[in-house]
């Protein structure tokens, strides 16, 4: 696998290498040693999977507070998404900035997001299956949302606000200015 840094400190794009033959292809999708060589040493403890029926479904932006802050390694098993990470580290020179990456089942590319970011995605096709590893267990008490369409974030979502399919939780999420300090 090839692992490349992205614009915001700590984010990585992971590109699996596919070995193709008459049957199809084979690829390694997770290697602790390759990730560690690229500076990713999180201990992933939980695997998550979600399925979204409709294109224009937005999940996020989500994060968990310490001591349950999560690094995430995100990939798409079916369909395609625009995957977004927002820097919430107060001491970061890129606080409030985001990276948006297309992830799809075809390339199998993965986005590594360290703790300290909010994460969300918008589905670009029907029937999207998204899988991701997280480095801390789910904790409902520490789970937080940030408004996906906060104009201050300036995220170029591929769906209009009135057309997005959202959970009630995400529809009611606070904007960045109302969050207060969440990560050092
Ligand atoms: C995230 C999560 C949810 N749940 C439960 C809570 C709830 O009843 C149901 C659906 O939860 P949500 O609405 O939060 O699911 P969803 O909106 O898909 O939440 C996920 O969004 C993406 C963008 C992330 O980055 C994830 O960390 C996670 O926050 O699943 C768990 O049991 N374990 C978990 O780890």
User: Residues 119-134: pLDDT tens digits?
Assistant: 999 999 999 999 999 9
ipTM: 0.98
CB 173 within 8 Å of CB 148: yes
> In the chain, what percentage of residues exceed pLDDT 90?
99
Kindly report the number of other CB atoms within 10 A of residue 16's CB atom.
Answer: 19
Q: Which of the four pLDDT bands, split at 50, 70 and 90, describes residue 181?
A: confident
61 cis-preceded (ω within 30 degrees of 0) = yes
62 counts as catalytic: yes
Q: Which of the four pLDDT bands, split at 50, 70 and 90, describes residue 146?
A: very high
- Report whether residue 139 contacts ligand 1, using a CB cutoff of 6 Å: no
Report all structural domains of the chain as residue ranges with CATH numbers, in order of start: 44-177 (2.60.120.10)
Which of helix, strand or coil describes residue 169? helix
* Residues 6 or more apart in contact with residue 33 via CB below 8 angstroms: none
Query: For residue 180, what pLDDT is reported?
Result: 85
Q: What is the pLDDT of residues 49-60, one digit of tens each?
A: 999 999 999 999
CB 27 within 8 Å of CB 108: yes
- Report whether residue 41 contacts ligand 1, using a CB cutoff of 6 Å: no
Q: What is the pLDDT of residues 25-70, one digit of tens each?
A: 999 999 999 999 999 999 999 999 999 999 999 999 999 999 999 9
Atom from ligand 1 closest to the CA of residue 170: 17
Tell me which residue has its CA closest to atom 34 in ligand 1: 138
């Amino acid at each position: 696998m090839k692992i490349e840094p992205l614009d915001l400190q700590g984010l990585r794009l992971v590109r699996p290498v596919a070995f193709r033959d008459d049957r199809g292809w084979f690829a390694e999708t997770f290697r602790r040693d390759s990730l560690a060589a690229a500076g990713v040493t999180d201990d992933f403890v939980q695997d998550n999977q979600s399925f979204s029926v409709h294109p224009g479904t937005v999940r996020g932006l989500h994060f968990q507070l310490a001591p349950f802050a999560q690094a995430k390694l995100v990939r798409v098993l079916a369909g395609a998404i625009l995957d977004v990470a927002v820097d919430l580290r107060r001491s970061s020179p890129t606080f409030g900035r985001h990276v948006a990456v297309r992830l799809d089942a075809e390339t199998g590319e993965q986005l590594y997001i360290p703790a300290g970011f909010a994460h969300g995605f918008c589905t670009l096709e029907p029937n999207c299956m998204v899988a991701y590893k997280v480095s801390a267990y789910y904790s409902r008490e520490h789970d937080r949302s940030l408004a996906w369409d906060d104009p201050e974030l300036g995220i170029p979502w591929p769906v209009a606000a009135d057309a997005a399919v959202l959970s009630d939780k995400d529809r009611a999420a606070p904007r960045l200015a109302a969050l207060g300090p969440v990560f050092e």
